[in-house]
Amino acid sequence: MNLFSYILVYRRFLLIVFTLLILLPLPIILHNKEAECAYTLFVVATFWVTEALPLSVTALLPALMFPLFGIMPSKKVASAYFKDFHLLLIGVICLATSIEKWNLHKRIALRMVMMVGVNPAWLTLGFMSSTAFLSMWLSNTSTAAMVMPIVEAVAQQLINAEAEVEATQMTCFSGSINHGLEIDECVNEHETNEKEEKTKPVPGHSNDAGKISSKVELEKNTVTGIKYRTKRDHMMCKLMSLCITYSSTIGGLTTITGTSTNLIFTEHFNMRYPECRCLNFGSWFLLSFPASIIILLLSWIWLQWLFLGFNFKMFKSGKTETVKEKACAEVIKQEYKKLGPIRSQEIVTLVLFIAMALLWFSRDPGFVSGWSALFSEYPGFATDSTVALLIGLLFFLIPAKKLTKTTPTGEIVAFDYSPLITWKEFQSVMPWDIAILVGGGFALADGCEAEAIHVNPLYILIPSTLCTSFAFLLPVANPSNAVVFSYGHLSVMDMVKAGLGINIMGVAVVMLGVFTWMVPMFDLNTYPSWAPAISNGTMP
């Protein structure tokens, strides 16, 4: 192997070594706590950006370096790795585990899509709405991974229905109608004209029956094997794929538990400014929900225009009319029927889910006294994590089904019961890597505190937190992006074009909110009393 090959093979190891050595003069020459803290911060940031080490392993570096540099004692650093955030995460993952185990998420998604209809524009909005709603409570990745197989089945049916319609039309036009294949399109002049408009030949190909087979081979998805008969078919697949990943990200903005970014921000903020008590599940929902709705609707219109073209006719509502739409509706109905009647386990999970949301909203809504006022003797003791743990523990207690065994005499008897979720099932869903990664962020924050500008901290922190989640541009920017990209419908440039527009719209909407409805909620134009007092731009 030549030198370049060795460098390529061991590039991560070399990056780690050179990063540590190149930055080493910083603490050696300056030799103060600020420089030593900056050295740790730069090393961790470099490893996180380059992923030279696994992200969670890099997050453990502050626990090693802060005690060695004398910045923080080991016990204090270790306490940063398990905070109130982690208890909240545990409770939420208990809920997510039960939702996924009993297929409640799939039932919700399919029902919402059935409600909006199967017109392409409304179908896309239905998928986006259901995905965004699920992403408020589940991780973006698991939501995208759950919904995409449904989208893929619908896309396959759309393409098959289009092929059947065109083949039938060609039979009708040639004058040899096969009555065994006759469908409504042949006798409905309006729909025939509509289909003719939709199935115009691709340039360079004729539209006669003899060349339909060559048109089918025009383009093929190498991952799923789906054949795109027309460019519009391919564009529809791209549209439906992107609407899933983008709406999962947008939905996660709405709740504190929706993304790890929101969780990290609220935990750090509540630790840094304990006297504020202005950020909780209800207040975060009120500030972020309008922005999420606006971004979701703008994204829907943007994606429709980008991939299918904008036409007011696409927003028509009413009964299903075309064969293509009927076929699509049938796929969704069949998927829903496979779930069977709703089970008791799903009902209990739904009740606990609603109870958790109501308890979060009503703990301290702000405009009226919440249930936390019942514990006025201990103000601030009960938090959103208290609710999450209460509901989370119930999932391990409430019986889901009886466990039976066969006795030597052949009799089947019950000997125990299985709860809604087991610890093993919880462990398989719990993102321990995220828990460690967040803990490392808290440790870094504890070692790098300072106040510099005389503005309301929320004025900067709220838009920064929301905009950090705008990972729409590349497949590697977000795990849910990678999930939909793996289906093979999209190219990187598709995501760049679509994501750039949504990034711009997202930032614009957030800034609109910061200057309008968020101002009275948190009195953003004044420096709050709960923030540290500043004199002449320096800390006292």
User: Is pLDDT above 50 for 473?
Assistant: yes
User: Is pLDDT above 50 for 399?
Assistant: yes
How sure is the predictor about 173, in pLDDT bands with cuts at 50, 70 and 90? low
Note the maximum CA span of the chain.
91
Q: What is the mean pLDDT of the chain?
A: 80
User: Is pLDDT above 50 for 201?
Assistant: no
Nearest in space to 452 (alpha carbons), one of 525, 534, 527, 523: 534
Better-scored residue on pLDDT, 230 or 11: 11
Query: What is the pLDDT averaged over residues 387-412?
Result: 87
User: Is pLDDT above 70 for 226?
Assistant: no
Q: What pLDDT, on a 0 to 100 scale, did the predictor assign at position 198? A: 39
User: Is pLDDT above 60 for 194?
Assistant: no
Radius of gyration of the chain (CA): 28
User: Is pLDDT above 80 for 402?
Assistant: yes
How many C-beta atoms lie closer than 10 Å to residue 237's C-beta? 26
Q: What pLDDT, on a 0 to 100 scale, did the predictor assign at position 536? A: 44
Q: What is the pLDDT of residues 417-433, one digit of tens each?
A: 899 999 999 998 888 88
Would you call 271 exposed, middle or buried from its count of C-beta atoms within 10 A (0-12, 13-18, 19+)?
middle
Residue 414, phi then psi, degrees to nearest 5: -85, 135
Domain range annotation of the chain = 82-169+226-393+452-530
**DSSP per residue, 289-339:** HHHHHHHHHHHHHHHHHHHT---GGGG--SS--SHHHHHHHHHHHHHHHHT
Q: What is the pLDDT of residues 429-450, one digit of tens each?
A: 888 887 888 788 888 877 766 7
Query: What is the pLDDT averaged over residues 462-481?
Result: 86
Q: Identify the weakest region by mean pLDDT among 198-212, 334-348, 451-465.
A: 198-212
Q: What pLDDT, on a 0 to 100 scale, did the predictor assign at position 206? A: 36
Q: What pLDDT, on a 0 to 100 scale, did the predictor assign at position 390? A: 93
User: Is pLDDT above 60 for 202?
Assistant: no
Q: What is the pLDDT of residues 303-320, one digit of tens each?
A: 999 998 877 666 665 554
End-to-end alpha-carbon separation of the chain, Å?
60
How sure is the predictor about 56, in pLDDT bands with cuts at 50, 70 and 90? confident
